[in-house]
Structure 1
């Protein structure tokens, strides 16, 4: 749903999808504001409040999560001080530019950089928290991206995920399957993925979990086993 990091499958397709996200970057927030208010109005605030220590946000998009992080994570400049403990990775230069502008308006000291969610340029065990919201649905190999997120977490580190997923209602799942026939080839957008299933198969301990709106919106907090 947001501008992802590392989309596509094949250079030509990836380049086409990146150009699409770049074009949509300036109007993205306005285009999806109504849907966000209706479907998941409080998810970003609740999820980002759980971030601690050195934080990596994967597929940061236009930076919609930035206002919701704790002050000691984003290093608010008005406090003078130390900070800059949030690193954001984004695949679309256009989306990343919007995120940088938002960080500047908010006076946040954060490190925002281009990167691929499927191959993070970060050593193992670099972060205390990894966040990814409403973006795994658009990453070509979401399992590779999830594996990368866990790889860069320290022992006991926290994985925070939110996305739209396959519904618990079969009529809605049927509509999502029909939507996939168009959205996957056109925009790389998957409506029936469910990251929670991947998390449950790994050495991760789920601490918080919520699923709403006929099961379409799901978020979770899980920790890496020490």
Structure 2
């Protein structure tokens, strides 16, 4: 669905929610009801008329845009097969990570050794996976939900654990922008569940900060990877001393 069609549909939904009809719109715009029906059917509103209808409802155009975005289906997770596709192509994986962080095609080419045709090919692949919509002039519209996640223990997660885990922790974590906290304790099932809830909340706060900084130039940001994990675990190196094997 085009954005014009989606906006028109959102405006129709707003009219219904406010108990307004085409006849009410016609009176407000000083048109015939038939003319208003044609405006909706042909999606041919001028910006001025669209704004007048919004104001009749006590809304701004931005409110309708937000309604449009909320009505559009958003991807929350890929399938196992789709994640496998991405992990089997390192170029595709890199570009996927870039677009999820709201990079433009110009950003991708500036910081990586990809030609425009290579980028477009990979972006078209992501378009087929419904992760993005590749728009005219190679603009990228992200289609994933704000709470999009890789499959737990799925191909992407396993790839990062096996391929990048050692590299990630091969650091002293002494820089100003680095932090490593290792905690060990004895928690009840109730306390463990509460701690996991707080970890998930912290993850949401990380996403919010990431979204706030999305509009900043790339040279004002650095890639940051945060690992939040908790598990029932004993250090294997202490096994020789344990009475319970």
Larger strand share, 1 or 2: 1
TM-score by length of 1: 0.23
TM-score by length of 2: 0.22
Greater RCO (Cα-Cα under 8 Å, separation 6 or more) = 1
Larger helix share, 1 or 2: 2
User: If you compute each CA radius of gyration, which structure gives the higher value, 1 or 2?
Assistant: 2
